[in-house]
Amino acid sequence: MEANTVNIHADLIARCRDEDRSAQFEIYKLYNKAMYNTALRITGNDSDAEDVLQDAFVSAFQNLSSYREDASFGAWLKRIVINKALNQVQRIKKDLMLADNIKEEVSEYEPEKTEPTYTVEQVKRAMNELPSGFRTVLSLYLFEGYDHKEISEILGITESTSKSQYKRAKDKLKMIVTQEVNYG
């Protein structure tokens, strides 16, 4: 059974195809926060995320003719944002390959029996401290919902590299947040 996608913004998109600036601004207002957050999770940097957001919307409006409406507009736009963000941090592939050769830091911290609770701000700060390769794989897997096979295709790495980077990213993130909590 094939699912039909209902585009709730079809009228705005049609007006955008006619280069209606007010319709483009409406679309921007509807999607900019979510798309910025997606870009920020991948790039880890406010100014890079803003650049990605700008480029993504310009590209989307210029290429609306390629939007086939077989997916929601938001999903189509998100794919553009992710591609632009990945291009912004192109060196990730190199970082991932180098990270495979780096020995992980050994922590003297003994984990507690119960998992501590962290604030969103603590996790955000810790995410920004991760190497870009770790941050990208973690973001694509946890926040964007891609599986390791899809991540390997997007980044041009093996599926096992994606899995190992994800595990290392989680461990490193936990270490960073734990250090902040313990030594604040």
Please give the chain's pLDDT, 184 residues, in tens.
445 656 778 889 999 999 999 999 999 999 999 999 999 988 888 888 999 999 999 999 999 988 888 888 999 999 999 999 988 876 555 555 555 555 444 444 455 555 567 777 777 788 888 888 888 888 888 888 888 888 888 888 888 888 888 888 888 888 888 877 666 5
Residues in the chain: 184
For residue 132, tell me if it sits in a domain. Answer: yes
Q: Say yes or no: 19 and 70 in one domain.
A: yes
List the CATH number of the domain containing 165: 1.10.10.10
Give the integer Cα–Cα distance in Å for 57 and 70.
19
For residue 130, tell me if it sits in a domain. Answer: yes
For residue 78, tell me if it sits in a domain. Answer: yes
For residue 18, tell me if it sits in a domain. Answer: yes
Query: What domain range includes position 19?
Result: 10-88
For residue 144, tell me if it sits in a domain. Answer: yes
For residue 112, tell me if it sits in a domain. Answer: no
List the CATH number of the domain containing 23: 1.10.1740.10
Q: Say yes or no: 55 and 24 in one domain.
A: yes
Q: By CB neighbour count within 10 A (0-12 exposed, 13-18 middle, 19+ buried), where does 70 fall? A: exposed
pLDDT of residue 139: 86
For residue 111, tell me if it sits in a domain. Answer: no
pTM tops 0.75: no
Q: Which residues contact 5 (CB under 8 A, 6 or more apart)?
A: 69, 70, 71, 72
